[in-house]
Amino acid sequence: MHTLSLSPLDPDFVQDPYSAYDRARVAGPVVFWKEYDMYAAFDAATVQALLRDRRLGREKPPHLLQPTADHLRDWDRVEATSMLDMEPPRHTRLRSLVLRAFTSRRIRDLSPDIEAVSAELLACLPRESFDLIPAFCTQLPVRIIARLLGVPEEMSDDLLRWSNAMVAMYQAGRTRDIEEAANQASADFTDFLTSYINKRRNDPRDDLITQLIAAEENGEKLSTEELIGTCILLLNAGHEATVHSLGNAVKCLLEHKTPTAALAPDSIAATVEELLRFDPPLHMFTRFAYEDIQLGDITLPKDAQIALILGAAGRDPALYDNPDRFDPARRAKPHAAFGGGLHFCVGAPLARLELQIALPALFAHMPNMQLAEQPRYANAYHFHKLDRLMINPRF
């Protein structure tokens, strides 16, 4: 078995993880990643297969659970009701109830909101060089998810602050300060949603929280704790992925001097899929083995954790010709940017819709924009996101 020694905090790796993925894929495709103390899969076939293999799951085996640390009690309380870390039958019940409210029609009906918020944000952009991430990429998805849930848009700054603090728990190099900030954010978020859910029970509206309250299957409804966990997951996962997808997409389109035809109505869907394949926002998704699993000449032991490297799967030459070339006209093939199997991202249709609407609007508003400086990725693995994206609008 090959061992990979590679710090996720290494500056060269942060700026270009794909070269390291190529080396690991050749050595593996499954290797033991020393710094994470777990196995890792880097090729598309293995990643896709293990995403769907029911011998693995997100839920930690009970005998491996550790007592909750005092400074993480509020964080753990939220995590306990997250679909992301559940397996059937709990996951089946919760996801089914959520999908009764989070329908494709409700997502499609958000198109006018995405167009309106995009136009409002674009109209307020500076005419001199500015950072596109906070000005546009961050604001659009958080305001849309606020509208979807039905919470006041003026809460956006709080939602962002709570979300950023909680999501930092998944980054490499987690510290005690990060943990305490995430715990406080979990407590504040829970307090807000508890009050807001109680209001909606007595004053239902046409929003997702009301629909989640009403969702029922076989006489079962979501508990208040499950409602809170679901709303937090939808905000944190949906917001985080779309912010970084937008930033990475604009960087890619500008660096490759992509023709505007790629953003035309009949081309934008394919362009978005290529952008997600080429430089996705989430690079790692971990799972536990519930029995011994043979992976080629490697046995993944029961209870072992394995990292599925989604970012590497999208650049696998066994699946894509010239995988390191960005090609908006590439014939579509499945990618792993939104995961797969039971845990395929429930918010993927919304993320795709936001990208398909926001990118053409942005480039139509600033058709001559250029990068004002070389973008750099943030030291935030396993997220792959930009520190900032300085734009010269060139009106």
Tokens coding 258:
């992509």
Phi, psi of 392 (to 5 degrees): -100, 110
What domains does the chain contain, in order, with CATH numbers?
67-285+341-392 (1.10.630.10)
> For residue 193, is it left (φ>0), alpha (ψ between -120 and 50) or beta?
alpha
pLDDT score for 217: 64
pLDDT score for 220: 79
DSSP state at residue 171: S
Cα–Cα distance measured from residue 237 to residue 85, given in angstroms and rounded to the nearest whole number: 13
Nearest to 300 by CA among 38, 94, 86, 114: 38
Nearest to 332 by CA among 273, 281, 276: 273
pLDDT score for 237: 80
Q: Does the pLDDT at position 299 exceed 90?
A: yes
The structure tokens 């849930």 sit at: 149
pLDDT score for 355: 98
pLDDT score for 222: 86
Cα–Cα distance measured from residue 63 to residue 56, given in angstroms and rounded to the nearest whole number: 16
The neighbour count for residue 288, using CB atoms within 10 Å, is 20
What is the tens place of the pLDDT at every residue in 350-395? Answer: 999 999 999 999 999 999 999 999 999 999 999 999 999 999 998 7
Cα–Cα distance measured from residue 236 to residue 160, given in angstroms and rounded to the nearest whole number: 9
In this prediction the pTM is: 0.95
Cα–Cα distance measured from residue 25 to residue 43, given in angstroms and rounded to the nearest whole number: 6
Name the more confident of 70 and 222: 70
Nearest to 234 by CA among 107, 57, 51: 107
pLDDT score for 215: 84
69-83, 234-248, 272-286: range with lowest mean pLDDT: 234-248
Cα–Cα distance measured from residue 50 to residue 307, given in angstroms and rounded to the nearest whole number: 10
Percent of the chain at pLDDT exceeding 90 = 84
What is the tens place of the pLDDT at every residue in 113-159? Answer: 999 999 999 999 999 999 999 999 999 999 999 999 899 989 999 99
Query: Parallel, antiparallel, or unpaired for β 3-4 and 370-371?
Result: unpaired
pLDDT score for 203: 92
Number of helices (H) and strands (E), helices first, in the chain? Answer: 16, 15
CA atoms within 13 A on the CB side of 294: 2
Name the more confident of 334 and 32: 32
pLDDT score for 111: 97
What is the tens place of the pLDDT at every residue in 323-352? Answer: 999 999 998 888 999 999 999 999 899 999
The structure tokens 């080396």 sit at: 23
pLDDT score for 394: 86
Mean pLDDT, the chain, integer:
94
Q: Which residues pair with 371 in a beta bridge?
A: 391
Cα–Cα distance measured from residue 178 to residue 34, given in angstroms and rounded to the nearest whole number: 23
Query: Parallel, antiparallel, or unpaired for β 220-221 and 216-217?
Result: antiparallel
- Interhelix angle 139-149/111-123, nearest 10 degrees: 140
Across the range 276-290, mean pLDDT stands at 97
pLDDT band at 290 (very low <50, low <70, confident <90, very high): very high
The neighbour count for residue 161, using CB atoms within 10 Å, is 14
Burial of 89 (0-12, 13-18, 19+ CB in 10 A): exposed
Query: Parallel, antiparallel, or unpaired for β 370-371 and 390-392?
Result: antiparallel
- Max CA distance (Å), the chain: 61
> In the chain, what is the straight-line distance between the N-terminal and C-terminal CA atoms, in Å?
56
Cα–Cα distance measured from residue 378 to residue 386, given in angstroms and rounded to the nearest whole number: 5
* 3 state SS of 324: coil
Beta strands in the chain (DSSP E): 3-4, 30-33, 38-41, 56-57, 130-131, 216-217, 220-221, 284-289, 293-295, 298-300, 305-309, 370-371, 376-377, 386-388, 390-392
Residue type, 291: E
Nearest to 162 by CA among 144, 176, 182: 182
Q: Does the pLDDT at position 218 exceed 80?
A: no
